[in-house]
Chain A
């Protein structure tokens, strides 16, 4: 029997958990990670990564329809839905294997099974191979989250999907109703629209992507509508009536009007809730509120030696936030100094729709709260040589500064490849750059990144190419 005394046991191997394990390995902690399914968690297997693979197929298919614009000719353009899904699964598998390698490299024991707290410093694991008990000086809970369900709109896996079924469609549906317009809902809407489905997005708030800047939301809605999507805002799905091969949804808008929409499939993307069940939290004294584990700014649950990270502890529900917290929790329990609590205004967010959307920091509305004087810069892709050359002239970069201090309060982007660009502003925020440093930075020409420079210049009335 192997030694089951560990410095650290991590329950859950999603991006938060496995990154925490790697960091613990680097710091020389004897570490085990407990996973009930596949290494990498939802992100690698059923989230971020496989959807990016699907969206890449969608993007290529979309581009094929624009070939003539670029002087290319091709006939008989078509797709094979099964092959699209197969590629996506292959990508997920490759990365899950990558995590297996990382665990080995960092001498982390991978224990298959369902882990739960079993008294002070103990984790019980129930797996295919039977039951076992691990002793741990420290425990990190990283069990993630799952799709939230609303009464009456419960997914059934056949006609009403969650992200999970939506990722492995047996065939492309001809029509689709997406409930919820957060990043997950919008990405699937974009994907299925690209493959020709009639897509309707229903959002209860007055605009889609409600966490984004209002101006960006509006531009996104315009672009999606142009691509043929139907978008209903301030609208609520009252009920779903399931037929043989379709679902009829009764949708009520804010003004009281009711309408019915029939679609082959429905995707429910109305948020997520933490996986707090069957973890032994209550017995251990770990507090749970509104479906999430309560932690302080150091990710401590209040029970000695027990930390919680990622989706399990709440918004923003983003893999990179979980990874950051995983590293922080490990460094904290290892006694490292110079740690800083997470600042959510420095966590970027990305939506991989067509067009892409990315942002970091405060929206214009939030930034102006409390009478703060702000300066807003805008630069359209239309003024950028590279965007024109790429055939991607639709896009906007918006930056918001504190007029007094020059602090970059927020940056909001929509357009081609903006998810790859946003990191520039994230670095600037972390380094506490002001407009002066951003203005002095030399951006390479010709790149899309020049729009970032121009937006900053515009905030101070100095844009060059507009």
Chain B
């Protein structure tokens, strides 16, 4: 029997991707492990390998097609002795690429149900839900019963009943497998929910160029909107003196045969501070806090038209040289979109540094499922008062955004205190 090859999920949160390239054509023989296609997501390009042996009977999705939903058949594999005639029931012609972006809804009226995109069977915790887990979910008895039967997690649904109550129709439209959201905020549909009022209304046609969102932009829009709406952010700012760190860095760079950046020190300082204040190394999981055992530090890397946050795993176990090498390598692969999903998903903390652009101080949006992010400003010479005297010192201002569901003010302050201590006296990082 012909076997459909499905659009793979490269990561638990992947919902769709671009079929960047076919490495095979119809009629080609493939065996298990052969690379058959390249899939591009908003963050990475991955090769797809054949799982079964056989002959490519039909390519169902044209090269270059964007927004191919996960689990959609992309090709048909024929077994031994089967020919193309076995394909009469196969889906028709390649899907045309559709890059058109849905216009924001002008009408305030209820929106038609969004098409549901098939989901990988992924752990629910990875996908932030419309309902804060643990909070009471309003659903009709019938909706609850059907959800239970279908294996749909009510927490990921958006209710359309009175005051957002989940009703039968909401559950019937959902796919089983936990993280199958149907609401637009989840980005199940190709388009991200637009602003309530179409900005086009304010500008004369032709006075601007309309650039459709690429998948990275869409993901950024969706995830950060969600993060800002769901996570109660608060901000803590502290100044760190850098003179000692710069001195140590200069010395190591001149003598150690390495090239350390200030950021590498900040990564290690963060990792060690998280170990020292382990309650700040957490994720909010609705019914529980996940206290991470390792410090997995994400570093925001600016890309052309977006950004990505690759993660240095177990950073507390790594020395400065190792961190420097890994950060450099990750950033480079991020720029060429060669990161694997597991290299940028998850993490327990992030650092975003805009110091190189001269920014003195800023606040960053938390990157779920993490509970904090550190926004780092420029290290600059400032006048500081010490023992009643004004002195010059190199000072850097950092602002931590905290998820108040997981981290309280005093806890965040304790973390920053530890961080500042490591930064201001780097030899303590050796302990």
Closest residue of chain B to A339 (Cβ to Cβ) is B110
Do B142 and A335 have beta carbons less than 8 Å apart?
A: no
Do B141 and A436 have beta carbons less than 8 Å apart?
A: yes
Q: Is A332 an interface residue (CB 8 A)?
A: yes
Do A298 and B109 have beta carbons less than 8 Å apart?
A: yes
Instruction: Give the chain B neighbours of A407 by CB distance below 8 A.
Output: 142, 145, 168
Do A338 and B162 have beta carbons less than 8 Å apart?
A: yes
Q: CB < 8 Å: which of B110, B140, B146, B168 contacts A338?
A: B110
Closest residue of chain A to B141 (Cβ to Cβ) is A434
Q: Which residues of A, 417-466, contact B by the 8 Å Cβ criterion?
A: 431-434, 436-437
Question: How far is the CB of B366 from the nearest CB of chain A, in Å?
Answer: 30
Do A432 and B110 have beta carbons less than 8 Å apart?
A: no
Do B108 and A405 have beta carbons less than 8 Å apart?
A: no
Do A432 and B167 have beta carbons less than 8 Å apart?
A: yes
Closest residue of chain B to A343 (Cβ to Cβ) is B169
Q: Is A404 an interface residue (CB 8 A)?
A: yes
Do A405 and B142 have beta carbons less than 8 Å apart?
A: yes
Q: Bound state CA distance, A258 and B161, in angstroms? A: 55
Q: Which residues of A, 387-419, contact B by the 8 Å Cβ criterion?
A: 404-407
Question: How far is the CB of A3 from the nearest CB of chain B, in Å?
Answer: 27
Given contacts A338-B162, A432-B168, contact A405 B145 (CB under 8 A): yes
Q: CB < 8 Å: which of A338, A339, A433 contacts B141?
A: A433
Q: Bound state CA distance, A332 and B107, in angstroms? A: 11
Instruction: Give the chain A neighbours of B162 by CB distance below 8 A.
Output: 338
Q: Bound state CA distance, A168 and B168, in angstroms? A: 47
| Chain B CB within 10 Å, residue with most, of A337, A404, A434 | A434
Q: Bound state CA distance, A436 and B167, in angstroms? A: 17
Q: Bound state CA distance, A19 and B85, in angstroms? A: 63
Q: Bound state CA distance, A405 and B140, in angstroms? A: 12
Q: Which residues of B, 63-119, contact A by the 8 Å Cβ criterion?
A: 108-110
Closest residue of chain A to B150 (Cβ to Cβ) is A405
Q: CB < 8 Å: which of B109, B145, B161 contacts A406?
A: B145
Question: How far is the CB of A157 from the nearest CB of chain B, in Å?
Answer: 46
Q: CB < 8 Å: which of A404, A431, A432, A437 contacts B149?
A: A404
Instruction: Give the chain B neighbours of A338 by CB distance below 8 A.
Output: 110, 160-163
Q: Bound state CA distance, A335 and B196, in angstroms? A: 13
Q: Bound state CA distance, A337 and B107, in angstroms? A: 11
Q: Is B266 an interface residue (CB 8 A)?
A: no
A-B Cβ contacts below 8 A, count: 42
Instruction: Give the chain B neighbours of A298 by CB distance below 8 A.
Output: 109
Q: Is B143 an interface residue (CB 8 A)?
A: yes
Q: Bound state CA distance, A338 and B146, in angstroms? A: 22
Q: Bound state CA distance, A338 and B142, in angstroms? A: 19
Per-residue contact bits, chain A 276-319, to B (CB 8 Å; 1 contact, 0 not): 00000000000000000000001000000000000000000000
Instruction: Give the chain B neighbours of A432 by CB distance below 8 A.
Output: 140-143, 167-168
Q: CB < 8 Å: which of A337, A339, A405 contacts B146?
A: A405
Instruction: Give the chain A neighbours of B167 by CB distance below 8 A.
Output: 432
Instruction: Give the chain A neighbours of B145 by CB distance below 8 A.
Output: 405-407, 434
Question: How far is the CB of A441 from the nearest CB of chain B, in Å?
Answer: 12
Q: Bound state CA distance, A339 and B162, in angstroms? A: 9
Do A437 and B141 have beta carbons less than 8 Å apart?
A: yes
Question: How far is the CB of A434 from the nearest CB of chain B, in Å?
Answer: 5
Per-residue contact bits, chain B 165-187, to A (CB 8 Å; 1 contact, 0 not): 00110000000000000000000
Do B168 and A337 have beta carbons less than 8 Å apart?
A: no
Question: How far is the CB of B112 from the nearest CB of chain A, in Å?
Answer: 10
Q: Bound state CA distance, A338 and B109, in angstroms? A: 8
Instruction: Give the chain A neighbours of B143 by CB distance below 8 A.
Output: 432
Instruction: Give the chain B neighbours of A337 by CB distance below 8 A.
Output: 108-110
Instruction: Give the chain A neighbours of B142 by CB distance below 8 A.
Output: 405-407, 432-434
Closest residue of chain A to B162 (Cβ to Cβ) is A338
Instruction: Give the chain B neighbours of A433 by CB distance below 8 A.
Output: 140-142
Closest residue of chain B to A407 (Cβ to Cβ) is B142
Question: How far is the CB of A419 from the nearest CB of chain B, in Å?
Answer: 26
Question: How far is the CB of B170 from the nearest CB of chain A, in Å?
Answer: 11
Question: How far is the CB of B110 from the nearest CB of chain A, in Å?
Answer: 6
What would 9 more interface pairs be, CB under 8 Å, given A432-B140, A432-B142, A432-B143?
Answer: A335-B109, A337-B110, A339-B109, A404-B149, A405-B142, A405-B149, A431-B140, A434-B141, A437-B141
Q: Nearest 9 A-B pairs (CB), nearest first?
A: A432-B140, A432-B142, A434-B141, A335-B108, A407-B142, A405-B145, A437-B141, A405-B146, A434-B142
20 pairs, CB–CB < 8 Å, chain A vs chain B: A298-B109, A335-B108, A335-B109, A337-B109, A338-B161, A339-B110, A340-B160, A405-B145, A405-B146, A406-B141, A406-B142, A407-B168, A432-B143, A432-B167, A432-B168, A433-B140, A434-B142, A434-B145, A436-B141, A437-B141
B-contacting residues of A (Cβ < 8 Å)?
A: 298, 332, 335, 337-340, 404-407, 431-434, 436-437
